[in-house]
Amino acid sequence: MIKLKRAYQPATGDDGARFLVERLWPRGVRKTRLKLDGWLKDVAPSADLRKWFSHDPKKWAEFRQRYFTELRAHRAAWRPLLAAARRGRVTFVYAAHDAARNGAVALKAFLDRRL
């Protein structure tokens, strides 16, 4: 099972394994405060894709398609997340303000199809 949580929300006991799935560290969050089992920078959208998307809701569908293409080309980046999700609960930690349209949401959809 994969859950999503903003980096600005506190960790809870039901989060399971927590992975930061952002290329950049969340602004204003101390590394000691963010309880993580890993930071998987390489699973996040590329810098070019992230800049192109710029959190524009009109680009969401195209962003997902482009991101899924990146993910298919970099299986080694997301396989540890898939393995962890098969073992138990996993929480993807992200920094975006838009809870409905961000890289973690797209990554979850991509991996849910493979669970």
Number of domains in the chain: 1
pLDDT at 32: 86
The helix, strand and coil proportions of the chain, stated in percent and rounded to the nearest 5, come to 45, 15, 40
Q: Which domain holds residue 69?
A: 2-112
The pTM score is: 0.95
pLDDT at 110: 98
Instruction: Catalogue the E-assigned strands of 21-103.
Output: 38-39, 90-94
* C-beta separation of 17 from 39 below 8 A: no
Taking the C-alpha atoms of residue 61 and residue 59, their distance in angstroms, rounded to an integer, is 6
The pLDDT tens digits of the residues spanning 15-61 come to 999 999 999 999 999 988 899 999 999 999 999 999 999 999 999 99
Mean pLDDT of 65-92: 97
Question: Which of 105, 92, 95 is CA-nearest to residue 27?
Answer: 95
